Amino acid sequence: MQLRLEGITKRFGSQTALDDISLELPEFKALAVIGPSGGGKTTLLRVIGGLMAPDEGELEIDGERIGFDEESLLAHRRRIGTVFQAYNLFPHLSALENITLPLEKVHNIPRPEATDQAQALLERFQLAPHGRKKPAQLSGGQQQRVAIARAMAIRPRFLLLDEPTSALDPEMTAEVLDIIMELRSEGRDIIMATHHMGFARSVADRTLFVCDGVVAEEGPAVELFGNPRSGKLRNFLAKILKY
């Protein structure tokens, strides 16, 4: 996929979360967005995913300019599989129902077809025995796998993953990262914010370093991690990789 941002700015009161970001990324399959907490990663992903309109600027994906009126954003969101830090599953629905509900209500897929699609995804992600369980009966890793299955069910234009393992312990983190790596190896387009630098380096072909509301550095993942140009990125990697 291709991505172009021109003058993207987002403010929350007196705080500028994204400060006049302009960049053009050539063809890529997986983009990792890294940077310190509060630096703007999540806000940038939310703008790209149509979850939030910027105050200023333009967004273009694969040559298509994305409108920032609510109707255009809604249409854009419906084509993207989004996975958040905190699962965002409906607590009163089973794992199966969490997957089928968007298919039925948002994408107007008949219930039998939606159920078949959901069952197939539960099988694929080793969740078939847990389809009737509600989120509270699942482990964190299982909940996040349901969230990924739900994102995949709509056959998305691309997957948008915002720190998908931040709430998980190391064993569950490995489960989820393995699934993301598998999807990447299948050729799925992915944009992901992550604090796992080793994973970002191995899964991404392009990387953005977002800090203080700007893209402080951008480039092929191997180059960015192997030879960081800016002092901010060198300091960030030194701290995060220290232990």
* Domain match, 192 and 240 both: yes
**What is the predicted pLDDT for the residue at 243?**
63
**Whole-Å CA distances, 186 to 118, 189, 194:** 19, 9, 20
* Domain match, 147 and 190 both: no
User: For residue 61, what is the domain's CATH number?
Assistant: 3.40.50.300
Backbone phi, then psi, for 103, in 5-degree steps? -65, -40
* Residue finishing a domain among 130, 156, 182: 156
**What is the predicted pLDDT for the residue at 99?**
96
Instruction: Please give the residue range of the domain that contains residue 188.
Output: 1-79+158-243
Give the burial class of 103: count Cβ atoms within 10 A of its Cβ; 0-12 exposed, 13-18 middle, 19 or more buried.
buried
Q: Which of 34, 38, 46, 62 is closest to 8 using CA atoms?
A: 46
**Whole-Å CA distances, 225 to 37, 221, 234, 240:** 19, 6, 9, 12
**What is the predicted pLDDT for the residue at 171?**
81
The rounded distance, in Å, linking the Cα atoms of 55 and 73 is 14
* Domain match, 73 and 3 both: yes
* Domain match, 165 and 148 both: no
Rounded to the nearest angstrom, the gap between the alpha carbon of residue 14 and the centroid of all alpha carbons in its chain is: 27
Q: SS3 of 208, please?
A: strand
The rounded distance, in Å, linking the Cα atoms of 20 and 211 is 13
Sign (positive or negative) of CA dihedral 140, 144, 150, 153: negative
**What is the predicted pLDDT for the residue at 87?**
66
Kindly calculate the radius of gyration of the chain based on its CA atoms and give it in whole angstroms.
18
**Is 0.95 topped by the overall pTM?**
no
* Domain match, 44 and 145 both: no
Other CB atoms within 10 A of residue 26 CB: 8
**Which residue's structure tokens are 């009126």?**
69
Q: Which of 242, 212, 199, 207 is closest to 228 using CA atoms?
A: 207
* Residue finishing a domain among 156, 180, 195: 156
pLDDT tens, residue order, the chain (243 aa): 999 999 999 999 999 999 999 999 988 999 999 999 999 999 999 999 999 999 999 999 999 999 999 999 999 999 999 998 776 899 999 999 999 999 999 899 999 999 999 999 999 999 999 999 999 999 988 998 999 999 999 999 999 999 888 877 888 888 888 899 899 989 899 999 998 888 898 889 999 999 999 999 999 999 999 999 999 999 999 988 766
The rounded distance, in Å, linking the Cα atoms of 85 and 129 is 24
**Which residue's structure tokens are 């400060």?**
19
